[in-house]
Amino acid sequence: MRRQTNILSAAFIIMAAYATSGLLGLIRNRLLAATFFGGRESQLDAYFAAFVIPDTLFQLLIIGALSAAFIPVFSHYLKKGEKEASMLASATMNGITAVFLVLVVIVFLASGILSSIIAPSLDPENIMLLTKLMRITLFAQVFFAISGFLTAIIQSHQRFLVPALAPVVYNLGIIGGIIFLTPHFEIFGPAIGGVIGAMLHFLIQIPLARRLGFRYSLRFNWSHPGVREIRKLMPLRSLTLAVGQVERFIAVFIATALAAGSLTIFNFARQLYILPVTLFGTTIGQAAFPTLSSEISSDKKEEFQKTLQSSLHQVLYLSLPAAAIILVLRLPVVRIAFGARNFPWEATLLTSKTVAFLALAIPTQAVTGVLTRAFYALHDTKTPLITATIAAALTVALSILFSQTMGFGVIGLGLALAASTLVHAFLLIVLLNRKVEIITSKFILPIMKMVFATAATGVFLWIPMRIIDRFILDTTRTLNLLLLTVSVLAIGMVVYINLSNLLRITQLAELMTLGRRVGNWRKVLEESEELLESTNIEKPAG
């Protein structure tokens, strides 16, 4: 029930929850690799592909409503009293959930056709398997739809702990399904576990929502002023989210045409790439967003510029070394994360090569989240939509070029994503600079220092890794491999921190005072146009 009273505590809770959920996600995928690799890789591909359409449906309708519309309107009604706010929440929840259920039924009935469209290269047996798995996954989305509204209600009261724990219990549901249900139901075990996890995601939030005053009622009132306002705010945000799902569709379409297990390998690699993006880019972007919105609404453009530059510096300060660590230690990390006995060496090498290209995209993808929120703070939702569309089109074109035309296979998907992410970030920062001057010498110089420190850190990661691997430890043993990774990581972090001090990179000190730097987030959170993304579930598809 306790409120988080500064942005550092809120960001820390979200970051800790992402880290916990990410760790459970790695355990989940290692269990999947151990269970299904070695003859049943195609089933695992079908399992991952089954999430794409249900997740997209959830993103477009539910997250589109919550992130851009529901919280600011609900917060406004909350000032009038819990009864008014509950009436609005119930009317919105019932209306949007009703539409969502209609779409779920349509997708359920058409799942066979949709499976053939998104993965036409699968054989008829696996198309049927994909269809059945998609239908099971749709049940989980119904729980997520209702749970998403509870998350928004709780976060509007500035409570973050319980919503942050919800994705954790979701992953626990899948892990339980793998361990206890797979022996009886095979690949349907983790899918059923996902439905159980989604139900837990919903149930864990009900007690707190009620204690905060929410009272559900069966109201369908589309003419309610608040509901009409929410409907007006949804379309552009939903379109932007729709464009962002293109990458997943193209990955399924191409990877299922490659060797069995290719889609699974890409999702494993993508999970290692997305974790630092989420930990650093998403959390700091969310932390800064309310302040950016407040500064623009108060016509404080100079403060807006400083907050934005500082947030971008902080994201880069954390994401650049993360990229170097994953790039240099990619093979040990992949072996630790997914190297179960049934996960073949060829798959390990292919995953690590894909991770190498995706690691290059970590800093650019991390800053993209902050840049996009800066446009939203400026009340510009069109530019993020246009740039996301360009990036999606580029991802499609390059994925086909690298994976099929040039024959790179699944590695080409990683290369395409890295290239399109770089272009996306470049477009955003150039267009944002036209609105608010951020590309200045004060902005560029710290980045140059960070790049130098990161490059030097990469060298000091690679040299001890090679020495320890070749002369000191037998890394065919898991314990020694873990010891090598931890030792090299510690050396790299010591080098990076000392270089930060030597080069006088101020972000190290700023990191310790994030709360004071960003400001009083609670005061401006009600004006925020975005749901904090702890509801963005770490799902098996990455």
412-425 per-residue burial string, b: 16 or more CB within 10 A, e: under 16: bbbbbbbbbbbbbb
3-class DSSP state for residue 485? Answer: helix
Identify whether the C-beta of residue 396 lies closer than 8 Å to the C-beta of residue 453.
no
Domain boundary assignment for the chain: 259-533
45: CB partners within 8 A, 6+ apart: 119, 122, 126, 255, 256, 260, 261, 262, 263, 264
Return the HEC string of 418-429.
HHHHHHHHHHHH
Give me 325's structure tokens: 């660590």
426: CB partners within 8 A, 6+ apart: none
394: CB partners within 8 A, 6+ apart: 416, 419, 420, 423
What is the predicted pLDDT for the residue at 115? 97
Handedness of CA 218, 223, 229, 235 (dihedral sign): positive
Give the span between the Cα atoms of 36 and 45, in whole angstroms.
10
CA distances from 31 to 184, 453, 483 (A): 16, 37, 22
Give the span between the Cα atoms of 177 and 181, in whole angstroms.
5
Identify whether the C-beta of residue 190 lies closer than 8 Å to the C-beta of residue 32.
yes
Give the span between the Cα atoms of 27 and 171, in whole angstroms.
9
229: CB partners within 8 A, 6+ apart: 69, 73
Identify whether the C-beta of residue 187 lies closer than 8 Å to the C-beta of residue 194.
no
Residue with tokens 């430890």, as numbered in its chain: 473
Give the span between the Cα atoms of 359 and 458, in whole angstroms.
13
Cα three-residue angle 65-533-92, rounded to 5 degrees? 25
Identify which of 168, 172, 133 has the alpha carbon closest to the alpha carbon of residue 53.
133
What is the predicted pLDDT for the residue at 12? 67
What is the predicted pLDDT for the residue at 287? 66
Identify which of 393, 392, 378, 486 has the alpha carbon closest to the alpha carbon of residue 431.
378
Give the span between the Cα atoms of 115 and 128, in whole angstroms.
8
Give me 89's structure tokens: 């929440």
pLDDT by residue, tens only, the chain of 542 residues: 555 444 445 566 667 777 888 889 999 999 999 999 988 899 999 999 999 999 999 888 888 767 656 877 887 788 788 888 899 999 999 999 999 999 999 999 999 999 999 999 999 999 999 999 999 999 999 999 999 999 888 877 767 778 878 889 999 999 999 999 999 999 999 999 999 999 999 999 999 999 999 999 987 877 888 888 888 877 777 787 778 788 889 999 999 999 999 999 999 999 999 989 988 887 777 667 667 767 776 788 888 899 899 889 989 999 999 999 999 999 999 999 998 778 999 999 999 999 999 999 999 999 998 998 888 888 787 898 899 999 999 999 999 999 999 999 999 999 999 999 999 999 999 999 999 989 999 999 999 999 999 999 999 999 999 999 988 988 888 889 999 999 999 999 999 999 999 999 988 887 666 544 444 444 444 444 444 444 343 454 44
Identify which of 532, 39, 540 has the alpha carbon closest to the alpha carbon of residue 288.
532
CA distances from 511 to 79, 123, 202, 315, 505 (A): 34, 52, 34, 10, 11
427-451 per-residue burial string, b: 16 or more CB within 10 A, e: under 16: bbbebbeeebebeeeebeebbebbe
What is the predicted pLDDT for the residue at 532? 46
Give the span between the Cα atoms of 511 and 7, in whole angstroms.
12
What is the predicted pLDDT for the residue at 541? 44
Write down the pTM of the prediction: 0.86
CA distances from 480 to 324, 463, 484, 487 (A): 22, 17, 6, 10
Instruction: Count CA within 13 A, CB hemisphere, residue 18.
Output: 25
What is the predicted pLDDT for the residue at 200? 96
